[in-house]
Copies of this chain bind each other. A is one copy, B any other.
Amino acid sequence: LAWRNGVSVTQVCFEDVEAAGRRIGGVAVQTPLLENDDINSLLKRRVLFKPECLQVTGSFKFRGAYNRLAQLSDAERAAGVVAWSSGNHAQGVAAAAAKLSIPAIIVMPSDAPRVKMENTKALGATVLPYDRKTESREEIATALSVERGMVLVPSFDDPHIIAGQGTAGIEIAAQAKEAGVTLDDLIVCCGGGGLVGGISIAMKALSPQTRVFSSEPMSFNDTARSLAAGERLGNAPDAESICDALLAPMPGKMTFPINLANLSGGFAVSEEAVKEAMRLAYKTLKLVVEPGGAVALAALIEHEKTIAGDTVGIVLSGGNVDPALYAEIIGGK
């Protein structure tokens, strides 16, 4: 157990991430670490991409969800699970539940991307839509959990979820080593902070010389500001962004101390840089990346000069984007 400013920062330790890696082995995809000559030329350094858009359900969220659900008791499995999510966590929980034959109910905003809602249903989960403006997803999910004895699966503030997301970090460290590369910097998208937190734990153990940064949309830069302030700060209640996967109101109670201890800082990016990153992924990497999945690449584009490393890792966290929006963005220039 380590402490900083009187706050426990290791509710999740590296051994938990390693155990999660064993649990998801052979079930999750070990996504590759990709490098592209044209991107290297354009961004004037070596850039290594971890494309979690190639993960089961098209985002990293499956890692944490499976690690959580695989540890439920038989009685808990029989009662089922409930989660709320705008989309990627929904699909992650639904897919993990399907693989483990656990019933799942997902509370989703009625304006969630259609592709995410459809995929969640296709995976066999029951989708319960709610109105983001008039209803509380927490209340709906908690009521279900209490009434039916279902296990609530949080999207980031849970040690098993954080450990599961951290398995991407174990892979990054091993794959970089195999490629003969030492990452100077690693940039990871950040909503509630589970992915970057989990990855930071793995990197601290396996590649301690690598600086790990979060990246967020400018209007949801709560983690960047909180890291600078040393305390949890929230976003404006009326904030908006095309990054539907990254709309958490403030850093997590459990994720923030981890990130405060482990991260070298947080980037915030404009909506235009997000779109530019999606176009670059389309045109050069040939990868479909959703807005929230493109913020780490957007940080490298927009903050090129303040990122010191010669070798930078970028996590592309998801690729679930409605065709109409995608068509508009890639055609937009």
Q: Which residues of A contact B (CB under 8 A)?
A: 29, 32, 34-38, 51, 53-54, 56, 58, 95, 115, 122, 279, 282-289, 319, 323-324, 326-328, 330-331
Of B283, B288, B328, the residue contacting A287 (CB under 8 A) is B288
Chain B residues with CB under 8 Å of A38's CB are 122
Of B29, B95, B122, B285, the residue contacting A54 (CB under 8 A) is B285
Q: Which residue of B lies closest to A55 (CB)?
A: B286
Q: Contact between B287 and A37 (Cβ–Cβ < 8 Å)?
A: no
- Distance (Å) between the CB of A310 and the closest chain B CB? 19
In the complex with contacts A326-B330, A331-B324, A37-B56 CB distance below 8 A:
yes
**Bound complex: CA A319 to CA B29 (Å):** 22
Q: Which of A34, A279, A323 has the most CB of B within 10 A?
A: A323
- Distance (Å) between the CB of A74 and the closest chain B CB? 24
26 intermolecular pairs with C-beta atoms under 8 Å apart: A29-B34, A29-B35, A29-B36, A34-B54, A37-B95, A38-B122, A51-B286, A54-B286, A58-B284, A58-B286, A115-B283, A279-B323, A282-B288, A282-B326, A283-B323, A286-B287, A286-B319, A287-B287, A288-B288, A323-B330, A323-B331, A324-B331, A326-B327, A326-B330, A327-B328, A327-B330
- Distance (Å) between the CB of A249 and the closest chain B CB? 28
Chain B residues with CB under 8 Å of A29's CB are 34-36
**Bound complex: CA A38 to CA B285 (Å):** 22
Chain B residues with CB under 8 Å of A51's CB are 286
Of B35, B54, B287, B327, the residue contacting A331 (CB under 8 A) is B327
Q: Contact between A323 and B37 (Cβ–Cβ < 8 Å)?
A: no
Chain B residues with CB under 8 Å of A95's CB are 37
Q: Which residue of B lies closest to A41 (CB)?
A: B122
A54-B285, A115-B283 provided; 10 other pairs, C-beta below 8 A? A29-B35, A34-B54, A36-B56, A37-B95, A54-B286, A58-B284, A282-B323, A286-B288, A324-B331, A327-B331
- Distance (Å) between the CB of A29 and the closest chain B CB? 7
**Bound complex: CA A284 to CA B57 (Å):** 8
**Bound complex: CA A330 to CA B331 (Å):** 12
**Bound complex: CA A286 to CA B290 (Å):** 10
7 closest Cβ pairs, A-B complex: A327-B327, A286-B319, A53-B286, A286-B288, A32-B32, A323-B330, A327-B331
**Bound complex: CA A58 to CA B286 (Å):** 7
- Distance (Å) between the CB of A15 and the closest chain B CB? 28
**Bound complex: CA A323 to CA B288 (Å):** 13
**Bound complex: CA A38 to CA B55 (Å):** 11
- Distance (Å) between the CB of A52 and the closest chain B CB? 10
Chain B residues with CB under 8 Å of A282's CB are 288, 323, 326
Q: Which residue of B lies closest to A53 (CB)?
A: B286
Chain B residues with CB under 8 Å of A36's CB are 29, 56
Chain B residues with CB under 8 Å of A279's CB are 323
